[in-house]
Amino acid sequence: MPSDEKMKRRLIYAKYLFLHGQEHARDGTEVSRMIAIHNFDNAVEWILKCVASERGLKPKKGKFFFYDELLDGMRDLLLIVEMGALHDLRNSVQHYGNIPSGEGTIRYMKEAEDFLKNVVKEVFYIEFSELSLASLIEDESIKSLMAEAEKKLEENKYEASIKLSSEAFYLGGIKEQKRIRELFEEHWNLGFNNFGSTIQIGIDFRDFAKFRSITPILRLPPSSDDVLIMTSCKDEIDKWKIESFKQTKENAQYCFTFALKYILKWQSF
């Protein structure tokens, strides 16, 4: 196990960096591929520094490790040579403006994922799936939904995961709208059915449009005691269940990371 909760949190952030890169890799545009390579490399370097800390290693000079120094001190790790090649690719993108190919980006995505999973298991004695991104969420009701969505995603139960991520996102959004309304003492027409309401709480409408195309329609009316209760439109849920082509691993991962992104953004204000 990680030596302390602070170390575990560092590992969770490394996983988050990787998943963020994964979304960019799947987007497929040239800029997205460049961002993806940077994220994969950042996640790997972060993990390597966690390993160095766990093993009690110190930089040879100064306060910080040089990347080559990290590589040289960890030749026992599986796929470490490939991670050195990933870093070289990152440097070519960063310093020379080279654009990674789609095939190369996907290959490094898979190799980085295998590297991270192996290191977490072999060095810290936990499974990669145990690094719960939902644990970063402060609100207990939203954290519970996202933890269950994360669990269902790991179990390949994509329909359930998508629905839970959707519930968590809408619950978080309604709470954020309520916070903003109280902050400015205004009475806005709440809801996610128009462009303006997404702008109110800082959502990129293009990302939201993709999210809405995957998820069922959900409504969260506030109860009399201000406890937000999830309800759903049965006809829309039934229709969504029939559209099984939407219930893929890629879509479930997108919905989870989309919801997590905005939930963490809202709680930071």
pLDDT in tens, 147-157: 999 999 999 99
User: φ and ψ at 101, to 5 degrees?
Assistant: -75, 160
Instruction: Look at residue 244 in the predicted model and tell me its pLDDT.
Output: 61
Closest alpha carbon to 174 in 213, 231, 125: 231
Instruction: Look at residue 128 in the predicted model and tell me its pLDDT.
Output: 95
Convert the chain into a string of H (helix), E (strand) and C (coil): CCCCHHHHHHHHHHHHHHHHHHHHHHHCCHHHHHHHHHHHHHHHHHHHHHHHHHCCCCCCCCCCCCHHHHHHCCCCCCCHHHHHHHHHHHHHHHHHCCCCCHHHHHHHHHHHHHHHHHHHHHHHCCCHHHCCHHHHCCCHHHHHHHHHHHHHHHCCCHHHHHHHHHHHHHHHHHHHHHHHHHHHCCCCCCCCCCHHHHHHCCCCHHHHHHHHHHCCCEECCECCCCCECCEECHHHHHHHHHCHHHCCHHHHHHHHHHHHHHHHHHHCC
Q: Locate 31 and state its tokens.
A: 């800029």
Instruction: Look at residue 215 in the predicted model and tell me its pLDDT.
Output: 81
Residue 27 has pLDDT above 60, yes or no: yes
Mean pLDDT in the chain? Answer: 84
Instruction: Look at residue 191 in the predicted model and tell me its pLDDT.
Output: 47
The predicted-structure confidence for 119-139, as pLDDT tens digits, reads as follows 999 999 999 999 999 999 999
Domain residue ranges of the chain, discontinuous segments joined by +: 5-131, 137-267
Residue 201 has pLDDT above 90, yes or no: no
**Are 119 and 51 a contacting pair, CB within 8 Å?**
yes
Position 28 confidence tier, pLDDT thresholds 50, 70, 90: confident
Q: Locate 257 and state its tokens.
A: 């990371």
Instruction: Look at residue 190 in the predicted model and tell me its pLDDT.
Output: 44
Residue, of 231 and 56, whose pLDDT is higher = 56
Q: What percent of the chain has pLDDT over 90?
A: 58
Residue 234 has pLDDT above 70, yes or no: no
Instruction: Look at residue 236 in the predicted model and tell me its pLDDT.
Output: 56
Q: What is the CATH number of domain 5-131?
A: 1.20.120.330
Residue, of 168 and 203, whose pLDDT is higher = 168
Of 138-142, 195-199, 210-214, the least confident: 195-199
Q: Locate 265 and state its tokens.
A: 């953004």
Instruction: Look at residue 218 in the predicted model and tell me its pLDDT.
Output: 62
**Are 40 and 18 a contacting pair, CB within 8 Å?**
yes
Across residues 106-123, what is the average pLDDT?
97
Q: What percent of the chain has pLDDT over 70?
A: 80
Instruction: Look at residue 119 in the predicted model and tell me its pLDDT.
Output: 97
pTM listed for this prediction = 0.79
Q: Locate 245 and state its tokens.
A: 């082509």
Residue 193 has pLDDT above 70, yes or no: no
Which residues, including other chains, have CB under 8 Å from residue 237's CB and lie 6 or more apart? 216
